[in-house]
Amino acid sequence: MSIAAKKDDAPHILVFSTNNISDPGIDMAGSAHMHYSTQVQVISVPCSSGIKPTWVLHALESGFDGVFIAADGTDCAYLPDCTTRTGVLVKKTQDLLKEHGRSPKRLRMAAVCSVCSESFVSHMANFQKDIVKIASD
């Protein structure tokens, strides 16, 4: 299969990354020439706890197949309880997705550190694989 064909078939993923911690790691995946799908689009935000559930729903309604939150974990520069807040946000968002008849599995969160390029690449590959499964269920 050619790369172009792969690109068309792969699930479309929106990534929210945090500009202090996750973004450098994702950026480095590119600068180190690691491969991840061109169907992945990244938007950086200051802190993952500021993401709104409606944004995620809007992304899925606008044609994205999955939304991935690359969070800071305990490394957040702004809030000591960032992980807890983001956890609450993810729960709320998944409830919202269910209400709208969408699988909560289309939202995923993981901590991505400033050098976690390899783990980000593998997260993307696994998430895309899982989305294909959700779609076929």
Partner 1 sequence: MLPTDISQELDYDICIVGAGIAGMESALNLGDMGYRVLLVEKEASIGGKMILLSKVFPTLDCASCISTPKMASAAHHPNVTIMVYSEIDEIERKENGTFGVQMHQKPTYVDPNACIGCGQCETACTVAIPDEFNFNLDARRVAHIPFPQAVPKKAILQRNGQSPCNHTCPAGVKPHGYTSLVRAGLHDAAFELHLETTPLIGSLSRACYAPCEKECTRGEFEGSVQIRAIKRFIADRYYELNSEPNYGPVKERKDKRIAIVGAGPAGLNAAFQLARKGYDVTIFEAEEKAGGTMQYGIPDVRLPKDVLERDIKNVTALGVSIRTNTKVESLEKLKQDGFDAVFLGLGCSRTRSKREESADGTTSVKTKAPGRVRSPNTTPFADEIKLAANGVIEINKTLQTSLPYVFAGGDAVTGPLTITAAIGQGNQAAYFIEQFLQGHPLNAADLKELECTDKLAVIAREARLSTRKPTKLLKRENVSKEEGRKAAKLPLTEEEARYSANRCLDCGNCSECHQCVSVCPSNAIDFSMQPIHHQIKVGSVIIATGFELFDAHRKPTFGFGKYPNVVTAMQMDRLLSPTRPFNSVLRPSDGKEPDNIAFVLCVGSRDSQVDHRLCSRVCCMYTAKQAQLIMGSLPLADVTIYYIDIRAFGKGYDEFYEQAKGMGVDFVHGKVADITESSEDEGNLVVRFENLTEGKIEKREHDLVVLSVGLLPNTSAQGMFRGTSIEADNFRYIKEMDEDMEPGVTSIDGVFVAGAANAARDIPDTILHSGAAAVQAAAYIENLKGLVC
| Burial tier of 74 (Cβ tally within 10 Å: 0-12, 13-18, 19+) | exposed
Contact flag: residue 24 with partner 1 (CB under 8 A): yes
Per CB under 8 A, does 96 bind partner 1? no
- Residue 9: which H helix or E strand, with range? helix 3-9
Note whether 36 binds partner 1 by CB under 8 A.
no
d(CA 17, CA 78): 15
Is residue 70 at the binding interface for partner 1, with CB under 8 A as the rule? no
Residue 21 is a binding residue for partner 1 (CB under 8 A):
yes
Could you identify the residue written with the tokens 């209400």? 99
Q: Which of 43, 77, 88, 135 is the binder for partner 1 (CB under 8 A)?
A: 77
* Residue 65 engages partner 1 in binding (rule: CB under 8 A): no
Residues found in the chain:
137
Least CB distance to partner 1 at residue 31 (A): 6
Query: Using CA atoms, how far apart are residues 101 and 81, in angstroms rounded to an integer?
Result: 31
Contact positions vs partner 1 (CB under 8 A): 20-21, 24-25, 27-28, 31-33, 72, 75-78, 113-117
